[in-house]
Amino acid sequence: MTSAGTGSDARRDRRGSARHVIRHLVRAPSTVLALLVLGTLGGTALAAPLVSPYDPLEQNMGDFLARPGPGHWCGTDQFGRDILARIIWGGRLTLQVGLISVAIAALAGVTLGLSAGFYGGWPDLVIMRFIDLLLAFPSILLALGVVAVLGGSLPNVMIAVGIAGVPQFTRVVRAAVLGARGLPYVEAARAVGAPERLIMWRHMLPNVLAPALVLGTTSAAAAIITGAALSFLGLGVRPPAPEWGAMLSTGREYLRHAPWMSIFPGLAIMLAVVSINVVGDRLRDVLDPRLRLE
């Protein structure tokens, strides 16, 4: 990757350390651009009350289906609501689904994968057979099944998308643990009599973090798409809430007369997902060169 530098530099800038990761992330212009896009989408969503030009729910029947132009940069919808304002506020919901569902998947997946890989034997057998079972369903079908049972709402979408992501995390983490189990320092910890639980959380977990972080990033992109898809299908966030997928679903009905209702929310989803994928690819190159695509 890079030259190791002087001894003290190398110590401060170890592979996998936060400093090492950040330094390499910002070296590629495409990653910087992606981070800027994500920062803008996330920042405007967080600061929505301050930066949004209009109330996302405020109807203005005198100005319905207005073309994009001064005043309404992304046009208005069938109730005269400003599309830009709805995209800014909608970012809160859509990005939240991505983040929280990945957090659910990661939390469950890391715990299961760590336990399966570390203890082996019957815990491994039971956990991995359960994961095989979940993998027997295509992931959106699994998410649909969960939504069918729990009902469609924002928290349920997060749970559904989260559960659909558990198998991948479990497998990746288990593989990382199996790889690290025989490493000399783990043997050494065992030889000096460190308790099993300490070995698992203190010595194994750091080995697992890099692949889990890479997977978490790409999973966030997939989660945003699945979450928005569920809302698009009418099984997630419902109108009038300004969620990007739900906005597209409404826009579909006005495709002929007001294509901007579909174009802009879709662009927002695409920008978010492309940016996350670019950062994820770069993160993988930095943290785990073995997984590199070439």
Partner 1 sequence: MIRYLLRRVIAILPIMVGVSFLVFLMLHLVPGDVAEIMAARAQGGGGPESVARMRAELGLDAPFHVQYGRFVRSALQGDFGRSYYTNRPVLVSVLEMLPYTIRLAGAAMVITAVVGVGLGLLSAVFHDTWVDRLGMLISLGGLSIPIFWSGLILILVFAVTLRWLPITGGTEWQRLILPAVALGYDGAAFVARLTRSSMLEVLRQDYITTARAKGLRAAVVILRHGFRNALLPVVTLAGLQFGRLLGGTVVVEAVFARPGIGRLAIDAILFKDYLLVQGVVLFVALTYALINLLIDVSYAWLDPRIRYT
Binding site for partner 1 (CB under 8 A): 129, 132-133, 136-141, 144-145, 147-152, 221, 225, 228-229, 232-235, 245, 248, 251-252, 255-256, 259, 262-263, 266, 269-270, 273-274, 277-278, 293-294
Shortest distance, CB of residue 236 to partner 1, whole angstroms?
11
CA distance 201 to 206: 8
Q: Which is nearer to partner 1, 16 or 137 (CB)?
A: 137
Q: Which is nearer to partner 1, 80 or 266 (CB)?
A: 266
Shortest distance, CB of residue 193 to partner 1, whole angstroms?
39
Q: Which neighbouring-strand residues pair with 76?
A: 82
Shortest distance, CB of residue 185 to partner 1, whole angstroms?
31
Shortest distance, CB of residue 13 to partner 1, whole angstroms?
28
CA distance 280 to 254: 35
Shortest distance, CB of residue 103 to partner 1, whole angstroms?
21
Backbone φ and ψ of 82, nearest 5°: -70, 125
CB 81, CB 62: distance < 8 Å: no
Q: Which is nearer to partner 1, 140 or 178 (CB)?
A: 140
Q: Which is nearer to partner 1, 5 or 259 (CB)?
A: 259
CB 268, CB 292: distance < 8 Å: no
List the structure tokens of 189. 């910890």
Please write down the HEC assignment for all residues of 35-101.
HHHHHHHHHHHHCHHHHCCCCCCCCCHHHCCCCCECCECCCECCCCCEHHHHHHHHHHHHHHHHHHH
Shortest distance, CB of residue 183 to partner 1, whole angstroms?
26
Shortest distance, CB of residue 284 to partner 1, whole angstroms?
12
For the packed helices 154-181 and 205-232, what is the interaxial angle rounded to 10 degrees?
150
CB 199, CB 134: distance < 8 Å: no
User: Which residues, 6+ apart, have CB-to-CB distance to 227 below 8 Å?
Assistant: 94, 97, 98, 101, 157, 158, 161, 236, 245
Q: Which is nearer to partner 1, 104 or 200 (CB)?
A: 104
Q: Which is nearer to partner 1, 181 or 238 (CB)?
A: 238
User: Which residues, 6+ apart, have CB-to-CB distance to 272 below 8 Å?
Assistant: 37, 38, 41, 91, 94, 95, 98, 221, 224
Q: Which is nearer to partner 1, 84 or 258 (CB)?
A: 258
